[in-house]
Amino acid sequence: MGECRGLCGICGNRNRHWRIGMENISWDAVLEGHLAAERRRVLASARIGMAGAGGLGSNCAVFLARTGIRHFVIADPDVVALSNLNRQHFFPRHLGLSKVEALGDVLRELNPSITLRLERRALDGAAARALFAGCDVVVEAVDDPGTKKTLVEALLLGGFRVVSASGMAGWGGAPMTARRLGGRLVVVGDHTSEIGPGMPPLAPRVVMAAALEADAVLEMLLGRCGKEDQGREETF
């Protein structure tokens, strides 16, 4: 428990103001005013695979945790470098840590009841299918186009529902969209831009793509958004 000893913007005086510890926060209560009980239960019981914990993966995982996802399987072989801080959901304290360890720290700080399986390793198709067995949706969040293609194809062949991203370089540019390709794949992004000279990966567009990935996961789990009194729609 923390204590406010200065002029508190909440209580308006120098009286002791106690900060609520995260261990006392119920995420069901956090979301109670936003989602019906049935939808909260769906999200709380879902298991999400994250292939990558960089710009896409770290931001997408945080968005999902804020909407009530509590179970993640996350794989990434890299460590947090200084150049990552421009777009990835890490802080200077995480420099030198593995990205999965750093992301685990962020997610547990947000919600200590989250359960995580963290794997510091690269994935090929067979390894991804084995690691993500039992996941309701897998988010593809890797950088290399060849690896991206291999993972998505292998996961689809394994029967998984997959959210992928393509095109998020630079600034401005083409609008980002989410394309549903068949019954089990959504690809988000501008679908054209490539990271390279003059087209750097910067926070605004990378985070936009990560948010679209998270939104696609929610639609897969909950169906299309509508009034709560209309009931849950069919998921895909």
pLDDT digits (tens, 9 = 90+) for 39-83: 999 999 999 999 999 999 999 999 999 999 999 999 999 999 999
Instruction: Provide Rg for the chain, Cα atoms.
Output: 19
Instruction: Identify the H or E element spanning 65.
Output: helix 55-66
- Reported pTM: 0.87
Cβ neighbours of 37 (radius 10 Å): 11
CB 234 within 8 A of CB 205: no
Q: Comparing C-alpha atoms, which of 51, 18, 30, 15 is closest to residue 153?
A: 51
Q: Is the dihedral of CA 176, 151, 51, 129 positive or negative?
A: positive
- Residue 163 confidence (pLDDT) above 60: yes
* CATH 3.40.50.720 segments of the chain: 35-230
pLDDT tens per residue, range 132-149: 999 999 999 999 999 999
CATH number for region 35-230: 3.40.50.720
In this prediction, residue 21 has a pLDDT band, given cuts at 50, 70 and 90, of low
